[in-house]
Every structure is written in C-alpha cells, then in structure tokens.
Structure 1
C-alpha cells in the first residue's frame, strides 16, 4: 500500500528533513528546526511519521532512524510565526524553494516501496540472483552459459519438452547449446524470446524488455502477438501493450556491461538511472518524471556510478542530492543553479 502524506505537519517535517540534509543548511536553519520540533508534541510526532516514509524502504531506513543532532547557537532563532497557531514554521524562502522538490521526493519514495517489494518477492523464488555491481557466469544443466548482470535475478525451469528461463529483473546474456528437440526460451515480463541461434541478450529496464541477437537469430513474442524475428545485430523492445520495430543495434554498446562498461548513446535518463542502480546499489529517485526523457551520451566504468551522477549534474539541467549513502535524488535545477556541483 502506498503511504500518502496528507497531514500539513508531516509535510512541514518532510521539508525540514531535506533542509537539514542540504549541504547549504545554516546554523540558523538548524536552530529554527530545533525550535519547530520542540514547539509542540504534535511536531515531534510529525517528524517521526516523516522519517517512517523513508524507513519503509528497508535499504535506506538506517540513515533516518535518528533525527539529526541540532546544535544550539546563541541569538534569537530565525522563525516565521504562523498566524493561526503561533507555531514556528519553515522560513518562507526556504519553504517556497523546496516545496516542488519535496512533493516529488515524497511521492517517489512512497512509490518505490511497492516496486522494491515486488523485486524482493521475485528474488525469493529465483534460482540465481546477483548483488549490485556483481557479474556472475552460470552454466545450466544442458551446458548453456548465462552471464547475469548486477542486481539481476532469474529462475531455471527445464522440462523434457522445453528449456525455460524466467528473467525476473535486470539483464542477462545467453550462449545456447542448440537442441532442436528442446526449444530454449527466456520469459521476461509480458513476452518471451526463443533461441533460433546461439547467443542473445535480454534486458528489463523502465517497464520495457529489450532483446538483442548477438549471434544468429531469435524469435520474440509479446502480449500474445505473432512472433517477430530478430536477426544478428538487431534489437527489439516490447512493453505491456505493444512490440516495437526491429532495428539495427550496436552490439558493442549492447554488450558493454560484460566488459564492466556503461555506454550510453542518446539514452533516456530514466534508463540510465536504472543501469546506475544495478551497479551502485540503493535507490536513485527522479523527483520529476519529465527528466526521464533527457538524453544521455557517454562511456563510463561500471564501478564509477557516482562519478556518472556527478557528470550528469554538470552536463544536464539536473541537481543530484545524496540524502544518504543509499538514497540519491535527481531533480530539476533552476537557471541560477546551473553551475552548482553535485551535492555529497
């Protein structure tokens, strides 16, 4: 179930959470937060609820289990008094500047929970699974080889009639031992790929499945539609409702991950973020869904996912904010922020 933030006090608490994580937070900001927190017991309760929004994500919860230690500084706090209650609140410039950002972060954090649970559930039933940044080579019972990318999982289900693999998430490359009497199929999301040749790559990213034939050819069928043939050097993508057009593929680009490289050529930022999560670990949240369409081109070492984030912050109109070691938020930046470095 999604956790919705509707209480105005919880909204204020979420604002404070981001204010205090901002590297530009001042001593006055921290003291204002301390006064806000101590003003009324309801504020402390709201602060606890705000932390729970993040703690529901098991992988990032430890970073928010205790509120930041707020040092007191001499002098009067810089507060704005709410006319109806007299309660101290967030200074207006800070509140206005971060409101849209927080809405996006709060919503995306809540949405991340069901997706994380689905991934965890699939891994429980997986025959093989990798950690973030790991690559693993598997030889299945017929001698076929599978290379599994980071943060990926699959199940092996071989019967007397068919050799079936279910790719739950991530990416895998298949090098098949041919056996005409037992077709080799890889099922992913709403479709499947049947090997006609010896080698192909299947990747799940952003709700789409991409299939590339790296040697000979494959048949791809999705959503009950007629299969399409993908020949060597070609690629096709399919989603819940449609199958795209078969097109030429850059196989060096497709297989770059097998050489521990991340290569992007006019790749949508949303897909780039999915790849970075598989190598960095944790969650990378896009606070504005419109950012997913931004185009990214570049070649990077897979082990340097954080450096890729810094590069994105310097080359795209985005702001990268590391709220903890395992949570990164990518948001739009204003023209005045265009030359700001990524936050650490």
Structure 2
C-alpha cells in the first residue's frame, strides 16, 4: 500500500495539472480538497515551490547565455511604455509550467507503488483528482484501489463513491466492485458496494453493467439495485439531482431496508448506528437532510424514519416504537 503522504503528493500533482487548463472550472471541488486535510494544502504549496525553483534555474541559464547587446525592436512590435518591461519571469513560468508539472507527474506516477489504496473513515470524505481530469468523490467508510499503470481503472472495495469521468472513446473508464464490472465512456455515476448490497445510479451519460454477462445499459436517470449477491438486479428510475447528493448532506432512499439506511447514516455521520433485528428489514422511502450535529443526537432523524433512537455504548441503536433495546 502506498504511503499516505505519497498519495497526497500525487493528488496535488493531479490537481496542478487540471488547474493549468484554460477551461478549468472545478474550483469548488479543488477548494474542498485543499480544506479536507492540512497536508493537502502543504503538498500543493510544495509543488508550486518546486516549480518556482525550476523557473529560477531556467531563468539564470537563459540570462547567462544572452548577449549584452539588446537587438533593435522591429517596427511592427507592440509598443512598450518607457520604464515598463515585460515580466520575463511570468513569461518563462507560463511557457514551462505545464510541461514541468507533467514531467513531475510522470515521475511520481510511475514511481508510486502499484496499485495503491485510498481509505476514508466513517464521516470523512475525500476527492481524488486523476490526471485526465476525471475525479472520484469518496464518502465515509470507503476503500478504493487505484493503479498508476491503469489510470482509467478503479476497484471499489467497499463504501460509496461518485465517479465523474472525462469522455474518451478509445479508453473507457472501468470500475470493478464485488463480482461486477461497470464500464463508462464519460459520465457521472454513484456506486454503493458492500458485502451484500450493490447500488448504481447514473446522473449523466451511460454506464454498462457487466458487459460480458448481463450487458445492461444504464442511462442518466437509471438506477440498478441488487440487495444480495444471490439476488437478481433490478433497474428503476432515479431523479438525477439525487445522485451523489450525499455530498451536500441530502440522503435519498427508495425502499431501502432500515439496515441499509443505518449503514448510510453511519457512513455519512461517522457514528456507530445499528438496528434492532425486529425492524432491520423494514423498508424506508424518503429524504433525510443531515448535519454534523446529528451524530450526537439521532432522535430527530429517528422520528423521520418512524422509529426510536437509543444510546448504545458510543453509538446508537434504532428500535421500533413499541420495543425496548
């Protein structure tokens, strides 16, 4: 497994490559990544510092080889006001910055352990930027395996992740999880995977479920759900605005069991939430808006679920209204 600091450094390089693009607009997620861990900002600043040092070396080399005689300015050159000279450092930086970052990235990309894991604790979130512009948003209690030799491949070991994939006809993005494969050519889709449940929801583009077996096409607004590995997967509709809404604290359910609801709450809140056996299979449909303080007081959420929340150790247990824990 790759060292945590190597992974963060590599993510910083990926963000640096993306932010160099003239049409980069994903500043919100970039800011969230910087704020998620103090080490993120430190790694990004160190990368920029390395670029500055490289620029200084190039600038010194150019200066030492320049003739002391300044060539005459052609008559058709743009006028420069007296006393104002172009910022050579800025010009140099603009000319080589992108290639520098790509070069640094290539070195890191090939020297990092293959593959490597990114793991989030319950209640923790992470945004992983990939060099091609794709990104993966990880919810809490999630483990994903990536491989620098296969930059358009990921294996979701468990948890929840939202994949935002840059289109490439020649290289589809592949996600493996449990015993299934998802193939995507450029889209946004959310995946929940654990020992039992598989839940795939698409908000944009097209995803192929197990192309070598079932070969089910999931277009935007479609959801594939499989409650157990032995069950047959079913396809239904889903509101595209609900896909990945967990990033804003909005959890949507459509017939999930109380066990699955508790798992989602624990993943997002970082709390240990269990369910009494009597209500574990009870279905729930609805929307829950969560906030940071809910981990300390589950009673309002329990009321929405139509159950009770009782303290149990350091966590909570959900029980029926007529039951005792």
Do the two structures share a fold, i.e. TM-score over 0.5? Answer: yes
Cα deviation 1:289-322 (Å, max 9, x = unaligned): 5433242523312424347731354455644221
* Correspondent of 2:165 among 155, 176, 181: 176
TM-score normalised by structure 2 residue count: 0.57
Change (3 A) 1:331 1:299: closer
Q: Do the aligned residues in 2 keep the contact of 1:184 with 1:195 (CA within 8 Å)?
A: yes
Task: Give the structure 2 partner of residue 211 of structure 1.
Answer: 200
Task: Give the structure 1 partner of residue 213 of structure 2.
Answer: 225
Change (3 A) 1:289 1:159: farther
Count of residues in Structure 1 that have an aligned counterpart in Structure 2: 210
Indicate yes or no: 2:134 matched with 1:139: no
Q: CA RMSD in A?
A: 2.9
| Distance in 1 separating the partners of 2:306 and 2:138 | 33
Deviation at 1:165, TM superposition (A): 0.3
Change (3 A) 1:312 1:324: same
Q: Do the aligned residues in 2 keep the contact of 1:279 with 1:302 (CA within 8 Å)?
A: no
Indicate the larger mover: 227-236 or 275-284: 275-284
TM-score normalised by structure 1 residue count: 0.54
Q: Do the aligned residues in 2 keep the contact of 1:206 with 1:271 (CA within 8 Å)?
A: no
Change (3 A) 1:310 1:177: same
Task: Give the structure 1 partner of residue 276 of structure 2.
Answer: 287
* Correspondent of 1:202 among 191, 210, 220: 191
Indicate the larger mover: 127-136 or 285-294: 285-294
Q: Can you give the 5+ residue segments of structure 1 that lack an aligned partner in the other structure? A: 1-124, 338-342
Task: Give the structure 2 partner of residue 301 of structure 1.
Answer: 290
Task: Give the structure 1 partner of residue 177 of structure 2.
Answer: 188
Q: Can you give the 5+ residue segments of structure 2 that lack an aligned partner in the other structure? A: 1-114
Matches within 5 A, 1:1-344: 127-159=117-149, 163-204=152-193, 207-221=196-210, 225-238=213-226, 239-288=228-277, 290-306=279-295, 309-314=298-303, 318-325=307-314, 327-334=315-322
Change (3 A) 1:264 1:309: farther
